[in-house]
Structure 1
Amino acid sequence: MERNPPGGQGEPVLLRLPFDGRWLAQNSPARRVPSHGTDLLGGRYAIDFVGVDSRHRTAFSSDWRTFAATEPPDRFVAWGQPVLAPAGGVVVGVHDGEPDHAARRSQLALLPYALGQPARLRQGVAPVAGNHVVIRLGHAPAFVALAHLRAGSIDVAPGEEVSAGQHLAACGNSGNSTQPHLHLQVMDGPDASTARGLPMAFARFREWPRGPGSSRIRDAGLPQEGAVVEALPPDGAGG
């Protein structure tokens, strides 16, 4: 197991991947820390996952809007995919009601969106995280946040106990998000505006490294930047 991600201290919190199927790892703390270029909002070791199909494509189709405008979020594989609890614990925070945005792959569409990012940061957690769930973990003194969820899809409420693999919500494109994806981070407190990020690792998954090559099974660790991953059942659980 990777005991210490780059720049990290202490044992990483071990989670399961919070989804089924194949997802692309981006902004991985296996590449750099802070993984998103900042320690703000408890995101020092955060990671992003983008749903992909069997050919590892993030979208079902492309057209002129891909290169010159915004796109509907439902053309992306991640849109509406189930988001699962990465560990057992108690829900301590839920925020819903943020709109899901149009997606942006075009540089023409990305530029004005990027220019608006400082303003979103000044507004606080919700405009950045979008719809999100925070869980106090039962097996570690830590909190896990799952962000950019689809508006109206959250199935849990504060105070509810959840088990690993339980359905929480659907993947969306709310908050500071340019295409549907799932943002996950572990923190030392429930409020991202004051919490510090903690290192994490994921248990038992298949990984297709970036570039040519076959997949490998990893018992625990962090997905490499640009790798595609798929959750596997625990040893002895079948599948």
Structure 2
Amino acid sequence: MSVRAVVPVAMRLSWLVLFALMIGEFVTDLPGPGWATTFLPALVVLALMVATTNLQARAAAPRGEPGPPVEVDPPVTGRWSALNSPADKVPSHGTHVYGQTYAIDIVADPETGEGEPPGRPAFRWFWPLFRRNQAFPAFGAPLLAVADATVVRASDGQRDHLSRTSLAGFLYLMLIEGNVRSIAGAHRVIGNHVILDLGDGTYAAYAHVRRGSLRVKAGDTVRAGQRIGSVGNSGNSSEPHLHVHLMDSPDLDDARGVPFIWRGVGVPANGETFTVDAAGERIAEAGERIDEAEERVAEARSGDVGGAG
């Protein structure tokens, strides 16, 4: 196991020790003064947590100059806006951990005409505290394979929580919910997710997938543009959106980020809108139907041969 994989384990153990010390102070009567039995050990554990957090971030940082960006297809169709883009800063999310140095968040941003329902709800300082996911146009939008690939991991059992698009909700996400998920591990931070092996040591990670929406499982092969699931709001997510990034390992705790570029789009900057038509999705779905038909024909022929024998 590499240092990059060991460090997050040490950090989670530090959290557990800290919680144990806090609980022990309330339910037991340890001999000696409180500063010696609880406060001092807690300070040591906190220092260890800070050290392991910094070590984890530094261990996940790219080594040397980044290679050329890997060109892949966009993971969505329709009109979207970019947030937390590597076109504006690197690391795009303020950290290298989980291989997300060049990660990007995108939200559906459909044009609304007269008589059409409003688009994406805006952030509010005080009210409403939260919104249901159906209020956001990204929720349930198709997720597409960015290349011909093999599914390495597919998980969609976590719930889609309400939005965190108020000041109180956002603070709750950052200070409480996010820290609890960090202790639980990367799979809780990114929520429901899919990891694709694109070949040549490059992997694509899709985060915050909608619960129960995945159409693929580990070991499946997919075509570029094929629908693999839907956008959701699971994990550390303030609203329904897609977080996607490329990395050099399927293990989020051991991965380093890989730069990307989307065909026909590039790398959209923060606030930039872009539109992708659905031609690729239709071609991929047609390819799926052809593959399924060929499989049925092969099975039928196999059955005929067996019956004749």
Pick the TM interval, shorter chain: 0.7 to 0.9
Deviation at 1:118, TM superposition (A): 2.2
Q: CA deviation at 1:141?
A: 2.5
1:105 paired residue among 150, 161, 165: 165
1:67 corresponds, among 109, 127, 149, to 127
Partner secondary structure for residue 187 of structure 2: helix
In the alignment, structure 1 residue 91 sits paired with structure 2 residue 151: yes
TM-score by length of 1: 0.82
CA distance in 1, matches of 2:187, 2:201: 24
Counterpart code for 1:174: S
Summarize the Cα distance change of 1:16–1:63 in structure 2 as closer, same or farther, 3 Å threshold.
closer
Q: Which residue of 1 aligns with 2:227?
A: 167
Deviation at 1:64, TM superposition (A): 8.5
Question: Is structure 2 residue 246 aligned with structure 1 residue 189?
Answer: no
- 1:153-187 CA-partner distances (Å, limit 9, x unpaired): 00001111101000000100000001000010101
Residues 23 and 62 (structure 1), Cα distance of their counterparts in 2 relative to 1, 3 Å cut: closer
8 A contact 1:28–1:223 mirrored in 2: yes
8 Å contact from structure 1 (residues 47, 184) kept in 2: yes
Shift of 1:111: 1.2
The change in CA–CA distance for 1:176 and 1:157 in structure 2 (over 3 A counts) is same
Residues 18-167 of structure 1 correspond to what in structure 2 (within 5 A)?
A: 18-55=75-112, 58-59=119-120, 67-116=127-176, 117-138=178-199, 140-167=200-227
Query: Does the 8 Å contact 1:68/1:107 carry over to 2?
Result: no
Distance 1:15 1:122, change over 3 A: same
What code does the residue aligned with 1:186 have?
L
Superposed CA deviations along residues 174-226 of structure 1, whole A, max 9, x for unmatched, are 00001000010101010111111111111113xxxxxxxxxxxxxxx211111
Q: Hey, what's the Cα distance between the residues in 1 that align with 2:275 and 2:124?
A: 31
Check conservation: 1:92, 1:190, Cα contact below 8 A: yes
Q: For 1:163 and 1:187, how far apart are their aligned partners in 2?
A: 19
5+ residue gaps, structure 1, are 1-6, 206-220
Greater strand content: 1
| 8 Å CA contact 1:83, 1:168 repeated in 2 | yes
CA 67–141 in structure 1, closer or farther in 2 if over 3 Å, else same: same
Higher relative contact order (CA 8 A, sep 6+): 1
What's 1:204 paired with? 264
Task: Structure 2 unaligned segments of length 5 or more: list them.
Answer: 1-63, 284-309
Q: 1:175 to 1:148 in 2, by over 3 A?
A: same
Structure number with larger C-alpha Rg: 2
Amino acid at match of 2:183: R
Q: Which residue is 2:267 aligned to? A: 222
Q: Percent of counterpart pairs with the same letter?
A: 40
Which protein has the bigger helix share? 2
Residue-pair matches, total: 212
Alpha-carbon distance in structure 1 between the residues aligned to 2:257 and 2:148: 19
Given that residues 9 and 199 in structure 1 are in contact (C-alpha distance below 8 angstroms), is that contact kept between their aligned partners in structure 2? yes
State the match for 1:16 in structure 2. Answer: 73
Computed over aligned residues only, the root mean square deviation of the Cα atoms, in angstroms, reads 2.3
